Amino acid sequence: MKKYTLLCLAGLLSACGNDTTQSQQSAAAVSQASQVTSYPVTRQGDVVETYFGKQVADPYRWLEDDRSDETAAWVKAENEVTFDYLNKIPYRAALKQRLQELWNYEKTSAPFVEGEYRYFYKNDGLQNQYVVYRQKEGAQAEVFLDPNTFSSDGTTSLAQLSFSKDGSIAAYSISEGGSDWRKIIIIDVETGKKIEEALVDVKFSGISWFNNEGFYYSSYDKPEGSELSAKTDQHKLYYHQLGQPQSQDALVFGGTAEQKRRYVSGTVSDDGRYLMISGALSTSGNDLFIKDLTVPNSELINVLDHHNSDTYLLHNQGSKLFLVTNLNAPNQKVVTVDASDPAPENWTDFIVETENVLTPSVGGGYIFAEYMVDATSKVLQFDLTGKQVREINLPGIGSVSSIEGKPEDSVLYYSFNNYKTPSTIYSYDVNTGKSTVYAASAAKFNSADYVSTQEFYTSKDGTKIPMIITHKKGLELNGKNPTILYGYGGFNVSLTPRFSVANAVWMEQGGVYAVANLRGGGEYGKEWHKAGTQLNKQNVFDDFIAAGEYLISQQYTASDYLAIRGGSNGGLLVGAVMTQRPDLMKVALPAVGVLDMLRYHTFTAGAGWAYDYGTAEQSEEMFKYLLAYSPVQNVKSGVSYPATLVTTGDHDDRVVPAHSFKFAAELQAKQAGNAPTLIRIETNAGHGAGTPVSKTIEQYADIFGFTLYNMGVKELAK
């Protein structure tokens, strides 16, 4: 059973290696960067907000109106300037070509069985979206769903696919233009024909079937005003009975003031006996209810009546529930309890908490306990009595996907990869413990030519932070290597080793790719997460600054060759660090970032992020803390900021593009140096999920081209 998931101040740094050649290269970079034409004129309004007696100007408030003609004209003008600059980068086309070449190999997923068919996802190479195939035993595979046919430009993507209990009916959701608002389409598996009208206006939802009769899904009431930015904060769980119109769907939870939650999900146990309802006020912590679906009109039973933990159903054997929880166990554990009286005082430890973060999965009659050891995977297999069967012998140090399947499956599948090893799929015999290569990667990338090492560095307050650094073998530590430092540091998200075609191209060019596991993430459990939230958020920025300083001190790079990159909460990270330490890096790459910390909670579901951030209305102390690091409010006149390429999508309804618009406008108005401060706005695109391959390749060609160009690189490596 899967849980449904919604989703630095430091001293001045002395430059290393200031030899003549480096100075000449730096001068060349400045010369290249000065080729920016004038920026569009961005009107400054007179909006002023008062917080606890302090007035804060918001001159670009008008850019929050995503439906206005003035905002549309501004977007067009900014893109014209940005693409005029990018078009002058001499090797931009060559980077795009190399990305296409390396991207162009067949990629396939692990198979899964539903009804009479074995299904899998496959991309022939450069298809914009993965295609779903199916096959019967002994027969040829055939196309089941091809999302590339959903729209002419590839911007409509398959978001989720779920099958009824016997596999005869499928329900799948689609995202149009990258939006979080979805449609659910229901089809007959044999004919592929739609069997009823699509469900619309669905958001942040799973599709959880009750036998073959219908399914549970979640959504908000359609907001007044803009669908992209209007606030949504009362999530509701519905049950859709097949054959009935959506207007008659039963409201199961979330319709009353007492049941008001920002995020609600409903999950049916694999045997169809129980419905588990999770309600959350923020992105961390949930209450939990259980309903017996075998008893007509049964009442909801409260499992947890508070939001002090993250708890969800992993599995059940009859009335015996297996729950995953971090209640009084920051690194998570598995407990068991009877469904008739499931309160915490009746829980029994099944897999106890350890020093490493636990993420369990179920399949083949076993529980697989994946532990995160310094951000890499270790997996133990347990039987349903709690006895450890074995440790799974993984192919190396890296990340393994969940090992899961149906109770009757004797063979399960998992994928393994790391920053230099493309993903390979393995079959796993649950009885013998033997792993066998099922589908080796066809990527034209020689991992043996690269090295990936984990190093620990010290943050400002003495905390040890892990960072994985990957590059070509034989790299000379001369302080002149183009380096991208990537981070996230929030929402309990763990950055574990993952292979990326784009990063492979970066490393082919002699680039260093470094990923720091900052506080605020989940790499070391709930305490690590909390150490980077609210009044501790500065720890995250300090950790990232210290990572950059470490890379420089160890001669991997120097400030003239360092770029920092992150997306969403990671975009906030980049925005905060580049405004606090603009001298540290040459290039800043904030993507779809949360950049106005005084107003983030007023858009879409942003109020749910308050667990991590706090809000400006929460208290005067919290307001002052947010104001001190909020990127939009901390761009200062007279400061030389690094070359900056802000990236966002005009249909991003999770982190609305106004964050990026306002930040770019502030940078362009106040930049004192010659480095360009540009914004690249992808049209008909959202927060990132489902982005067509063609657009992704173009984005990386622009990002890498901009980065190398501003580091003074005149030609690509051969």
By CB atoms closer than 10 A (0-12, 13-18, 19+), residue 175 is buried
- Other CB atoms within 10 A of residue 672 CB: 12
- Helix, strand, coil percentages (3-state) for the chain, rounded to 5, are 25, 30, 45
Angle between helices 658-670 and 569-580 (to 10 degrees): 10
Apex 385 CA angle, 383 and 389, nearest 5: 35
Strand partners, 171: 162, 186
* 698 vs 672: CA distance, rounded Å: 30
User: For tokens 């609210």, what's the residue?
Assistant: 534
* 207 vs 534: CA distance, rounded Å: 33
Nearest alpha carbon to residue 233 among 203, 199, 276: 203
By CB atoms closer than 10 A (0-12, 13-18, 19+), residue 436 is exposed
* 7 vs 654: CA distance, rounded Å: 10
Instruction: Print burial letters for 40-57: b (CB count within 10 Å at least 16), e (below 16).
Output: bebeeeeeeeeeeeeeee
Query: DSSP class of residue 11?
Result: P
Parallel, antiparallel or unpaired: strands 199-203 and 208-210? unpaired
Asked whether 538 and 6 are in contact (CB, 8 A), the reply is no
Coil, helix or strand for 179? coil
* 568 vs 682: CA distance, rounded Å: 15
User: For tokens 């899961």, what's the residue?
Assistant: 404
Asked whether 380 and 369 are in contact (CB, 8 A), the reply is yes
How far lies 278's CA from each of 267, 312, 585, in Å?
Answer: 8, 8, 43
User: For tokens 């008893």, what's the residue?
Assistant: 295
* 472 vs 148: CA distance, rounded Å: 36
What's the start-to-end Cα distance of the chain, in Å?
A: 49
Catalytic positions: 568, 687
Tokens (6 digits) for 509: 């060019």
Strand partners, 357: 372
Query: DSSP class of residue 203?
Result: E
Nearest alpha carbon to residue 703 among 683, 679, 674, 686: 679
Coil, helix or strand for 330? coil
Query: Contacts from 81-86 at CB under 8 Å and sequence distance 24+?
Result: 81/36, 81/37, 81/39, 81/40, 81/678, 82/645, 82/678, 82/679, 82/680, 82/681, 83/680, 84/37, 85/35, 85/36, 85/37, 85/676, 85/678, 86/680, 86/702, 86/705, 86/706
How far lies 195's CA from each of 28, 151, 212, in Å?
Answer: 63, 21, 13
